[in-house]
Amino acid sequence: MDLRGNASSPRALDHRRLLVGICLVAFVVRLGALIALDRLRHPDVWESETIALNLLQGRGFVFNFLGVDYRSYMEPLYPALCTAVYAITGHHPLGLGLVHVILGTALVWLVFACARRISPEGAALVAASLAAIHPGLVLYTTKFHPFILDALLLVAVLAGCLWIASAHVWRRVALLGILIGLCMLTRPTVLACAPIIGWWVCKRVPGNWRRRGLALALVAGCAAAVIMPWVWRNYVVHGRFLLTRSGSPMVLWIGNNPYRFTGSALTPEGEAILINAAPLPVREHILSLDELGQQDYFLKEALDHIRAHPGAFLQRWFLKWRYFWWFSPQAGLLYPSWWLRLYQVVSLALMVCVALAIWAHWRDPVRGWMDGQALVLLLGMCASIALLQSVFYIEGRHRLAIEPFLLIPAGHGLWWLRWRQAQ
């Protein structure tokens, strides 16, 4: 048996057919969820919807928040996508819904593409199958939220890393930088992965340290070239440097303010923690400020609170990190209770399968083979995102964004277990 399942294997054609079938299942499941949840008549829209409509109506990239017209409320790529779809299809949920279904299906294919560079092809098919029916990924495909594009581009960055080889190395390094830049234009969390990605580039680029340094500079330069137009736009609008959005200080404040802490953006009763957590004089002061004034206030108060109580900050950070990997008390408040129980079972099974894959790789280096350095890259990216997100606050979608990564070793663990049983 060809454990690698490479193109020379007699099973290669069957594997390609299976992959097509898995992607078709993913498409049908997501389209069915879109219809079953009645998203075509009652779409689940977020802030990007308002921004897209404002762009179409000539009002600009504007979202009214805390009594102020924010002009850099969020990253631009997903609102731009919504605007383009609405401009072509009209303001109807069907067009954007189909785009989401296609993006969700592309994510399944990318999981396979990444997994086959780390594991045997049979294990990659198992990982793609898990991604096709993963309840969280299916559910968020039906929401008109940047998540699906963010998750797709995060996995694309992983694929860009894995694609670096001695052949065409500069072209592939440049592509990685472009993918990182695009990912930052949906959510800059990928910056947390910079150290582990830098380590990987140095490992994969052959030659001396000068050559590796040039490769790192090329990655950074290509990423900067992608985001620079948006950074420049922010400078023109606000008169000062903003990387991708103005509201990062607010999300830091939500998880680190002197008034109320739950680890989430919600209270245990399901109410949003915004300025209503603060005393009335503070709320009135915040509402009197403009966009950057509000964010400067949030940043100063959060940093002052952290400096005044560093031990409490570390305790909050650990608690939020725990909530990242397992559910906060607010998890599932917006959904039927059985949805939460189902997702807890899925999450527990996923972690068990990841642990099984690591154990198999350690104890059975032939049958349980995985690319060890690639596994370090994958898990290192997950850990980096978890640590950074835990500085701010935790919601279920923050962990969900890295679950396509975890499906890769989970698929390997299931494949290896089945292989052992077959022996």
Q: Strand, coil or helix: what is 361?
A: helix
Q: By the 8 A CB rule, do 109 and 156 touch?
A: no
Which residue do the tokens 């060890």 mark?
372
> What is the pLDDT, as a whole number, of residue 367?
65
Q: By the 8 A CB rule, do 174 and 222 touch?
A: yes
> What is the pLDDT, as a whole number, of residue 422?
67
Contacts of 161 (CB under 8 A, 6+ apart): 176, 197, 200, 201, 204, 377
Q: How far is residue 323 from each of residues 94, 103, 251, measured CA to CA in Å?
A: 35, 28, 16
Domain locations in the chain? 12-422
Torsion of CA 302, 305, 307, 308, to 10 degrees: 170
Residue type present at position 412: H
> What is the pLDDT, as a whole number, of residue 206?
85
Residue type present at position 129: S
> What is the pLDDT, as a whole number, of residue 395?
83
Per-residue pLDDT of the chain (423 residues; tens, 9 = 90+): 333 444 455 566 677 889 999 999 999 999 999 999 999 899 999 999 999 999 999 999 999 999 999 999 999 999 999 999 999 998 889 999 999 999 999 999 999 999 999 988 889 999 999 999 999 999 999 999 999 999 999 999 999 999 987 678 899 999 999 999 999 999 999 999 999 999 999 998 888 889 999 999 999 999 999 999 999 999 999 999 999 999 999 999 999 999 988 888 877 776 777 788 889 999 999 999 999 999 999 999 999 999 999 999 999 999 999 999 988 888 877 788 888 888 899 999 999 999 998 888 887 766 667 788 899 999 999 999 999 999 998 887 888 889 999 999 999 999 888 877 766
> What is the pLDDT, as a whole number, of residue 12?
65
Q: Classify residue 362 by burial, with Cβ atoms within 10 Å: 0-12, 13-18, 19+.
A: exposed
Cα–Cα distance for residue pair 319/176, rounded to 1 Å: 33
3-state secondary structure 146-182: CHHHHHHHHHHHHHHHHHCCCCCHHHHHHHHHHHHHH
> What is the pLDDT, as a whole number, of residue 368?
65
> What is the pLDDT, as a whole number, of residue 200?
94
Contacts of 208 (CB under 8 A, 6+ apart): none
Q: Strand, coil or helix: what is 243?
A: coil
Residue 241, token pair as written in the block = 């440097």
Q: What is the model's pTM?
A: 0.91
Sign, CA torsion 301/72/334/319: negative
| Nearest C-alpha neighbor of 385 from the set 298, 320, 307, 301 | 320
